[in-house]
Amino acid sequence: MEVLKVTDLSFDYPDKSILHRISFTVNKGDFLCIVGTNGTGKSTLLKLILNRLKPLEGRITLFGENSANFKSLYKIAYVSQKATSFNRDFPATVEEIVSLGLYSKKTPLGFLPPESEKMIDDALETVGMSDYKHKKIGRLSGGQQQRVFIAKALISKPEIIFLDEPTVGIDIKAVDSICCLLGELNKKGITIVMVTHDISSILYHSSHVLLLFEDGSSEMITSEQFGQSSVLSHVHHHTSEEEFIPKSMKKRL
Amino acid sequence: MEIFTLGFMQRAIVVAICISIITPLIGNTIVLKRLSAIGDALSHAGLAGVAIGLCFGFNPVFTAILFSVISALIIEFIRTRFTNYSEIATAIVLSFAVGIAAVFSGFISNSASFNSFLFGSIVAISEQELIVVVMLAVIMLLTIVFLRRELFYIAFDEEGAELSGVKVKRINTLFTIITAVVVAIASRTVGALVISSLMVIPVACAMLVSGSYKQNIILSVIFALFFTIAGLIITSFYDLKPGGTIVLIGIATLIILLPFRRDD
């Protein structure tokens, strides 16, 4: 089943053209990683899909509906890079932050449904943060905060989660555990679309990789194909991120 | 305690309670959105409105509300043009308002009346103003309570709120108008120059000792009530300016609480 379809999408910033006639499809249960060097438009692509920016050309559909008119917001969730820029003194508990994910379920007078307490507990248990329910969000580490933000995304039981570099600024151990968590969520049937620089999450958890190039073009490959190019680059002792991009694509970088 | 039987003092206490409840409710959102200076800009805009009202013989409270609301909308407009430098908006409006207030205050024959808006005056509140303040406070309170979840979401993550279906632009505009009205009506009691402090200091005190967002809201209202009531009582005994007294009590409380900051 098709959950996201991008057709001939183009976008320019006033001083730079970044996405040119991009097309790809994400099906239910896919785990797509969006990869590219800085400035190739990874985060911009997410913003276009989420209707935060208007495309120059092209069409984006979510669950068959044009993304500009998409009304079933409970079906999608978004996790930003917030953990890296979060204010330590923000006076809210983990429970209060996760409850924000139930916004679409609130009554007209702003009350949450009676089952919200259990839903919060379940979401926190899924991400392994039950013990931190009453802690202030600003007192947690970056990795723990990101787990809470994933719980906030999960609580509305979305069918697809978009993540914008969720592991940036987080220590390596926490990165691994977040990647494993995302892999487990994907196995439970949640479709995941993630902008990332993290190679392990691509190699071990994703099903597809969307490569964005500096000339504005793109190519969708499977994670196995990506792995082969990655292994190849390891053999040649390369470390920079663009070396993980298949050789056939390199000339276009 | 005989002073509390006097009509003007009773009016001042009622107005102080209204202001102490709604000001920190607004202050919570303003502080968490890192827009603490907006109160300053709007109170100066209110002052410009007062100067024009007194100059041309209009009710200064109404011209203050009008000027604050217009300024609030200008701030919101400029803010959308400089998304990453939103404090530019408050600086521009503040400078403009100070300019107008300075120019028109020179033409006011009764300077004592203008001064009462600068630093507040408990004797300045008429029966008519009391009714206006109470009615506006009730409307503002109901609006904020009704939008509590949206305001919390926007303060936490504006982008995430919009993606979840919160009408961020509409609520931001409405909230800025509410702030402008509250600043304008509160400037009569505590003074235009100190009203922004009453938005920020109770919230800052609450942030030091609260364990959650809900607690932060409740504690900030309790702190604001304590500052204003204590300020009015002290003012009535020692003939001090209420605005300055209220703010100094707030600052003293903040200093006392600093070592007790919660770190859990």
Longest CA–CA span in chain A (Å) reads: 62
**CA–CA dist A150, A184 (Å, integer):** 13
The verdict on a CB contact (< 8 Å) between A92 and B152 is: yes
- By the 10 Å C-beta count (0-12 exposed, 13-18 middle, 19+ buried), A77 is classed as buried
The verdict on a CB contact (< 8 Å) between A96 and B213 is: yes
User: Looking at the predicted structure, is the pLDDT value of residue B11 above 90?
Assistant: no
User: Looking at the predicted structure, is the pLDDT value of residue A247 above 60?
Assistant: no
Contacts of B215 in chain A (CB under 8 A): 91
CATH number, position B30: 1.10.3470.10
Nearest residue, CB atoms, B212 vs list A76, A78, A93: A93
| A73 contact B CB<8A | yes
Identify the band that residue A245 occupies on the pLDDT scale cut at 50, 70 and 90. Answer: low
Nearest residue, CB atoms, A103 vs list B153, B210, B213: B153
- By the 10 Å C-beta count (0-12 exposed, 13-18 middle, 19+ buried), A54 is classed as exposed
Contacts of A97 in chain B (CB under 8 A): 156
CA dist A116 → A111, A137, A197, B75 (Å): 10, 19, 35, 37
Cα–Cα–Cα angle for A66, A67, A70, rounded to 5 degrees: 90
Nearest CA distance, B146 vs chain A (angstrom)? 6
**pLDDT, position A238:** 40
**CA–CA dist B205, B219 (Å, integer):** 8
The verdict on a CB contact (< 8 Å) between A92 and B213 is: yes
| A53 contact B CB<8A | no
Which residue segment(s) compose the domain that B84 sits in?
Answer: 2-260
Identify the band that residue A239 occupies on the pLDDT scale cut at 50, 70 and 90. Answer: very low
The verdict on a CB contact (< 8 Å) between A109 and B149 is: no
User: Looking at the predicted structure, is the pLDDT value of residue A104 above 50?
Assistant: yes
The better pLDDT of the pair B232, A49 is held by A49
**CA–CA dist A80, B158 (Å, integer):** 11
Read off the pLDDT of residues B62-100 as tens digits, 9 standing for 90 and up: 888 899 889 988 888 887 777 667 778 888 888 999 999
Measured from the Cβ of residue A46, the count of other Cβ atoms closer than 10 Å reads 21
User: Looking at the predicted structure, is the pLDDT value of residue B106 above 60?
Assistant: yes
Nearest CA distance, A136 vs chain B (angstrom)? 7
Q: Residue range B222-246: average pLDDT?
A: 88
| A68 contact B CB<8A | no
Read off the pLDDT of residues A129-184 as tens digits, 9 standing for 90 and up: 999 999 999 888 888 898 999 999 999 889 999 999 888 877 777 888 888 889 99
**A212-249: b (≥16 Cβ within 10 Å) or e:** bbeebebbbbebeebbebbeebeeeeeeeebbbbbeeb
**pLDDT, position A29:** 94
**pLDDT, position A240:** 47
What is the average pLDDT value for chain B, to the nearest integer? 86
**pLDDT, position A49:** 94
The verdict on a CB contact (< 8 Å) between B164 and A82 is: no
Read off the pLDDT of residues A204-233 as tens digits, 9 standing for 90 and up: 888 999 999 888 888 898 888 888 776 545
Interface with chain A: mutation pick from B33, B164, B216, B219, highest number of A CBs within 10 Å: B164
Identify the band that residue A7 occupies on the pLDDT scale cut at 50, 70 and 90. Answer: very high
Q: What is the 3-state secondary structure (H, E, C) of chain A?
A: CEEEEEEEEEEEECCEEEEEEEEEEEECCCEEEEEECCCCCHHHHHHHHCCCCCCCEEEEEECCEEHHHCCCHHHEEEECCHHHCCCCCCCCEHHHHHHHHHHHHCCCCCCCCCCHHHHHHHHHHHCCCHHHCCCEHHHCCHHHHHHHHHHHHHCCCCCEEEEECCCCCCCHHHHHHHHHHHHHHHHCCCEEEEECCCHHHHHHHCCEEEEECCCCCEEEEEHHHHHHHHHHHHHCCCCCHHHHCCHHHHCCC
Nearest residue, CB atoms, A136 vs list B152, B165, B211: B211
Nearest residue, CB atoms, B264 vs list A96, A104, A139: A139
The verdict on a CB contact (< 8 Å) between B149 and A73 is: no
Q: Residue range A32-56: average pLDDT?
A: 90
What's the alpha-carbon Rg for chain B, to the nearest Å?
A: 18
Q: Residue range A14-18: average pLDDT?
A: 82
The better pLDDT of the pair B193, A69 is held by A69
**pLDDT, position B122:** 65
Q: Pick from A84, A41, A59, A57: which is nearest to A5 by CA? A: A59
Identify the band that residue B136 occupies on the pLDDT scale cut at 50, 70 and 90. Answer: confident
**CA–CA dist A148, A242 (Å, integer):** 31
Domain boundaries, given as residue ranges, for chain A: 2-85+158-250
User: Looking at the predicted structure, is the pLDDT value of residue A252 above 60?
Assistant: no
Read off the pLDDT of residues B18-71 as tens digits, 9 standing for 90 and up: 888 999 999 999 888 877 778 888 888 988 998 898 888 888 888 888 998 899
Identify the band that residue A248 occupies on the pLDDT scale cut at 50, 70 and 90. Answer: very low
What is the signed CA dihedral for B239, B240, B241, B246, rounded to 10 degrees?
A: -130
The number of folded domains in chain B is 1
The whole model's pTM is what? 0.84
Instruction: Please name the residues between 207 and 226 in chain B that touch chain A, using a CB distance below 8 Å.
Output: 207, 210-216
**pLDDT, position B221:** 95
**pLDDT, position B254:** 96
Nearest residue, CB atoms, B160 vs list A80, A92, A95: A80
Phi, psi of B192 (to 5 degrees): -65, -30
**CA–CA dist A149, A101 (Å, integer):** 9
Pair type for strands A191-195 and A31-36: parallel
The better pLDDT of the pair B197, A84 is held by B197
**pLDDT, position A253:** 41
ipTM, two decimals, is: 0.83
Task: Name the range with the highest mean pLDDT among A60-69, B100-109, B233-242.
Answer: A60-69
Contacts of A104 in chain B (CB under 8 A): 164-165
Chain B residue nearest residue A95, CA to CA: B212
Identify the architecture of domain A2-85+158-250 in CATH: 3-Layer(aba) Sandwich (3.40)
**CA–CA dist A230, B238 (Å, integer):** 78
